[in-house]
Amino acid sequence: MNKKLFIIFCLVFVGIFIGSDVPQTKHFLRLIDWQFLNGIFSRLQHYEPSLESSAMNLTDAEYNYGWLDSNADVSSFLVIRHRGGNYKKYGQNTVRVIDDSLAAGYRLIELDFILENEEIVCATDERFKAQRCDLDNIFERFESHDFWLVVDIKDEKVRDPLVFEKYLEIFFTYPKFVKYKDRFIFQVYNLAHLDVLTEFPIETGPIFTTYNTTVPISIIRDQLRHHGVRAVTTPINALRFIPKGITQDFLLFTHPVSGRKTMEGLFEDFGVNGFYCSELCK
């Protein structure tokens, strides 16, 4: 949306309602969900159709979502260890945090990756940088453990499909990645990323992530289905914007979550049955 039009709309809205001293108007203003409106305006203001509309040709892609049945977490919910696991104790995306999660029996681990000197490495705090993991550490653990790795690319330009494509190309330069590629679950951040995935020999089903897209899932729901997507994640503070009945089409994840009671409450309120959890997950 043009910024000038956005400003004019706001001024008109304020002029009509704020300028009135009618009691009914004041009551109406109290009922307005300003946070919801702000979210809509923000989406319109930053909407980039070129990144979202390239996937209009529906593909009917088929992915392997066998990892959705990997619930060996001693939990009735599907748990993905966020940032590797108990990162407050062992550091986010470090070798130690991964080993701790594997020792506890978790089979789904999410890590944040960045590009550094044309190599893919884990993102972590400066104080844990010496312990951060890389792909070679992951490959070593694939040799001895049966688990899947959820890939979250932490690049400020990741919404650009060319940037996403570059990451995938670099992943495929690692010989062992080709061997273990079915153990990698890529998070995708817009419809154009789904187009990019079809250009690579990737069969494992991705997770569509709503926090980095400008288009509400209610609008692209059909396109996600036709792209073979079966799993969606959204920030916990955005669950209220997820349309009712979404769990009929997708397994709904949310993040970040800690504590069994929190999981049970989100399941009851929103139908969430998958959680990115770092501690108190069982």
- For each successive 10 residues of the chain (282 residues), what is the average pLDDT? 52 50 44 41 41 46 86 70 92 95 94 93 86 94 96 94 97 95 96 95 94 80 93 92 87 91 92 90 80
Q: Are residues 210 and 233 in the same domain?
A: yes
Q: Are residues 113 and 26 in the same domain?
A: no
Number of domains in the chain: 2
Give the pLDDT of residue 95: 95
Q: Is residue 13 domain-resident?
A: yes
Q: Are residues 76 and 205 in the same domain?
A: yes
Q: Are residues 25 and 152 in the same domain?
A: no
Q: Is residue 181 domain-resident?
A: yes
Q: Is residue 282 domain-resident?
A: no
What is the pTM assigned to this prediction?
A: 0.79
Q: Are residues 8 and 124 in the same domain?
A: no
Nearest 5°: CA angle at 121, between 118 and 122? 150
Q: Are residues 59 and 88 in the same domain?
A: yes
Q: Is residue 29 domain-resident?
A: yes
Contact by Cβ (8 Å): 253, 207: yes
| Domain with 233 in it | 49-277
Q: Are residues 164 and 38 in the same domain?
A: no
Residue 131 has phi, psi (to 5 degrees) of -105, 0
Q: Are residues 55 and 18 in the same domain?
A: no
Cα–chain center distance at 282? 22
Q: Are residues 12 and 102 in the same domain?
A: no
Give the pLDDT of residue 44: 41
Rg of the chain's alpha carbons, rounded to an integer?
A: 21
CATH code: domain of residue 155? 3.20.20.190
Q: Are residues 78 and 143 in the same domain?
A: yes
Q: Are residues 58 and 194 in the same domain?
A: yes
Q: Are residues 28 and 107 in the same domain?
A: no
Nearest to 127 by CA among 99, 88, 155, 98: 88
